[in-house]
Amino acid sequence: MFRPFFVLILTLLTSGNFFFPTAIAMSPTLEVKSILITGATTGIGRNLAETLAARGYHVYGGARTDTEMKELDAISNITAIRLDVTKQDQVDSAVQRVRESGTGLYALVNNAGIGGGGPVLTTPVEDQTSVYKVNVEGVYRVTKAFAPLVIEAKGRITITGSVAGIISSSSYNAYSGSKHWIEAFTDGLAQEMKPFGVNVSVIEPGNYQSHIRRSSVLRAFDKVVAAGGEITKEMQKQYDQTAAYELSLKKPDEVSAAFIHALFSDQPLRRYVVTPNADSQKHTIGTKVQQLVQLNQWGPHAYSRDELIGMLDYWMKTLDEFSD
């Protein structure tokens, strides 16, 4: 929980029902920014929550189970909050709790997401729907609910995208589609929030250590069991291999660093591509360039190579000046 020294003193002077963040808001000398992170229990969300908390920020960490909430509450400067982004009643309750705490809300980090989806010919529609309920509708639902609080603080909204929103594959079709939607959503939301003084950014990680792949396998196991089946040795082997792969990846410290810049820099960027190595960066940017060339292939108004290079030079100069 969030327990600075002065809060402990106030606790001794007040009732046992005292809510720590309220005291923080009441202090005339201490300004602590509160940030809400959805999906804060594992992976990128957990890494970011712990990073922010260690730096003295107050984090509302979204969790879905009692066990997860207990784990988050045990970390100094983190207040667990029950938040399944697919359930409007939980979203509404979370908003009410933040409002009643008196801390305000400086920033919203839309991080909750799941993997899944596959080849169109072999993947049930329900599998794609489940991905979109979390990765698309969940982001929309939470943003709509918490945006008024962030507007009051003239704060920040950040969203966890993915390089998969740029680079797609039949093996994760639905997931890529959901992250490509976030690209468009970020731009539209940024335009909407600009008059209110709220900046919007998307962080697009490559392959970093997380729990998203293991969670996808476990959901598939749940469906097998629900249908009366059993988890075979081969299926368990698949999970073990997935877990070994995820744990072999770099920890997402670099992703958290990008979030920190987006949340607190005086000149935050719209997009942050964060990759674990140069090859991944080359593949991501190269795919975007390929898409640019494809966009320019057809029609009477296509640009020449020199004109395209002129556009590139213009935007690199413009964005560099903006970032200085």
Catalytic residues: 175
Q: List, as one string, the DSSP characters of 211-275.
A: SHHHHHHHHHHHHHHHTT----HHHHHHHHHHHHHHHHSPPTHHHHHHHHHHHH-SS--SEEEE-
Long-range contacts formed by 177-180: CB under 8 A, 24+ apart: 177/117, 177/128, 177/132, 178/113, 178/131, 178/132, 178/135, 178/136, 179/135, 179/204
Q: List, as one string, the DSSP characters of 187-204.
A: HHHHHHHGGGT-EEEEEE
In b/e form, how buried is each residue of 249-285, taking b as 16+ CB within 10 angstroms? eeebebbbebbebbbbeeebbeebbbbbeeebeebbe
Q: Which of 105, 77, 75 is nearest to 7 (CA)?
A: 77
Classify residue 111 by its DSSP letter.
-
Q: Which of 63, 81, 66 is nearest to 21 (CA)?
A: 81
Alpha-carbon gap, residue 34 to 127, rounded angstroms: 35
Beta strands in the chain (DSSP E): 34-37, 58-63, 78-82, 107-110, 156-160, 199-205, 271-274
Half-sphere exposure of 190 (CA within 13 A, CB side): 17
Q: Which of 109, 78, 82, 106 is nearest to 94 (CA)?
A: 82
Residue matched to tokens 């979390």 = 134
Classify residue 59 by its DSSP letter.
E
Helix (H, G, I), strand (E, B) or coil at 169: coil
- Say how many residues make up the chain: 324
